Amino acid sequence: MFRAAGVSVQSLRFPPNDRRWWRVRLDDRNSAPLNLVSAVVGKSGATVPLPEVALELRPDKSEGAEASTFVVVLPAANLPLIAMRIEASEPAYHRKVRVWERVLLRDAVDRVLLGEGTIFRAGELQDRVVVRPASSRVLEVEVERAAGLELHVTNVRAVLEHQALVFHASETALALVYGSDAAEARHYDLEAAFAQGRRPAPSPASLGPLKELGPRAPALPQPARGGALEASSWSRHQDIALPTTGTVAYLDLEVPPAQLPSVRIIDERNEQVPYLVESAPRTRVMQATLQLQNMAGKTVVRLGGFDHLPSIRALELQANAPAYFERPVVVSEIQSDKRGVTGKRVLGTASWKRAPNEAPAPLRVAIDPPESAALEIELDNGDNAPIVVTSAALMREVRRIDFVFRPGEHLKLLSDNAQAGAPRYDLALVAGRILSAPAELATAAPALPAPEDGRGAPRWFWAFVVAAAALVLVALARTLKKGGESTG
């Protein structure tokens, strides 16, 4: 809720319900408290159905996502969204849903939560999640995976608020035009005039048949490439596998946070490909193999079969356990050298507790990034029965970047350069258009060391080496000749 410079949003929307009492809490931590003097409750109108738009589902192809993520594209930006309807094929389900929008804020891409709720089918159906209007065309819908099982979403529909255009009809032959990606926001005197006094009662008008005027001009210009780089200054080089469709791609980076400012994308001519970076990391799940060993008073779990060490930030445990328990947990990395095990490094600790009548839940422990794939988890059972750990998953943090590519080109990802600062690209000026175009997944090959650059040594250096070698050979030949003459 806000009011500033003559613009205000003071309406709260939620699904129709039979509640008699509501509690409204306002966050006053960053401002003076508001004194609410009245509230008006509007009943849902059952006589006029709200317009709905069927949306195309594009599954996010990133591996290891915690939730099933779908990208949906709205027919236009700035739609008056009220809710999203998510339909699934399962006969019974109960899942949490979040709807996100990606916007540019302070030269970085932020994921803004538009709404969240629960959809279920158990006798009755609840398929609606209340959301607020979006400024972009591309949204992300996250559906919870219950016990790791994916919900088979079949349809997503956008529910829109009724809107009406009020205009002064001085002529009989008028036309409504829309669908432009280049038109700027309108500024009319009529709106300001109506704001000063009472509006006259409008007469209804109707629309004729739709006429398509042909394809629109491309909304996304090809951004100019940045300056050329000396690629050998970056220690890690990775080839990028580009998508086969579209011109906008996203890449999930697994570089350490300290190396993120040095990341660059270059083309065949070593020219920089501008990109946008998300401000917050995303979590990816990676399963690990485990070996369970019960000792006196403790349970020891050793993990293996995983990689991506620099991006690991947490681990999650599932267990067959009593109805209630409490166990201290210590996560360590086994350190070793050529002689064998030399010690342990503690990566994180936690307390695993389940109260009586509490539903079973996994334990997530935040840990420091390990340096080797040799982790050990120790649970202190005391004098109680041992906890049987059934599965372990490692949580990786990736940072998503978006960039525009040209079909058929070859790009590389560069990282690990302590001398390189954060890049500044003009791409931020057209970020709205980039984020309004559906992005396809690009992947980076395993990192390779920087290739040796033949340009590192100038030509005069090699000419000097050849000349010096020739002089050494001449001197050696003279010495051998003199030695032979003296012997004769």
Provide the pLDDT for residue 140. Answer: 95
Provide the pLDDT for residue 455. Answer: 45
Q: DSSP states of 297-323 as a string?
A: TEEEEEEES---GGGEEEEEEEEE--S
Q: To which residue do tokens 């445990």 refer?
A: 317
The CA distance from 215 to 383, in Å, is 74
- Whether 228 and 271 have beta carbons less than 8 Å apart is answered as yes
Continuous segment of H or E residues that includes residue 294: strand 282-295
Provide the pLDDT for residue 262. Answer: 93
Q: Measured in Å, how far apart are the chain's first and last C-alpha atoms? A: 109
pLDDT tens sequence across 131-180: 988 888 899 999 998 777 889 999 999 999 888 888 888 777 888 887 77
The CA distance from 119 to 140, in Å, is 16
- Residue ranges and CATH numbers for the domains of the chain are 51-160 (2.60.120.260), 232-273+405-451 (no CATH), 283-397 (2.60.120.260)
pLDDT tens, per residue, the chain with 488 residues: 777 766 677 777 776 666 777 888 888 888 888 877 777 777 655 556 788 999 988 988 888 888 899 999 998 888 889 999 999 999 999 999 999 999 988 778 999 999 999 999 988 888 999 998 888 889 999 999 877 788 999 999 999 988 888 888 877 788 888 777 667 777 788 777 777 766 677 888 888 898 887 665 555 667 889 899 999 999 999 999 999 988 999 999 988 888 899 999 999 999 999 999 999 999 999 999 999 888 888 999 999 888 888 889 999 999 988 889 999 999 999 998 888 888 899 999 999 999 998 888 899 999 999 998 889 999 999 999 888 899 999 999 999 999 999 999 999 999 999 899 889 898 888 888 888 888 999 999 987 776 665 444 555 555 556 666 666 676 666 666 666 555 55
Q: In the predicted model, what is the mean pLDDT of the chain?
A: 85
Q: What is the pTM of this model?
A: 0.75
461's CB contacts (< 8 A; 6+ apart) are none
pLDDT tens sequence across 310-340: 889 999 999 988 889 999 999 999 998 888 8
CA distances in angstroms from 438 to 56, 74, 90, 139, 273, listed in the order given: 11, 11, 28, 9, 18
Specify the 3-state DSSP secondary structure of 281: coil
Provide the pLDDT for residue 398. Answer: 92
- Whether 298 and 345 have beta carbons less than 8 Å apart is answered as no
Which letter, b or e, does each residue of 316-346 get, where b requires 16 or more Cβ atoms within 10 Å of its Cβ?
ebbbebeeebebebbbbbbeeeeeeeeeeee
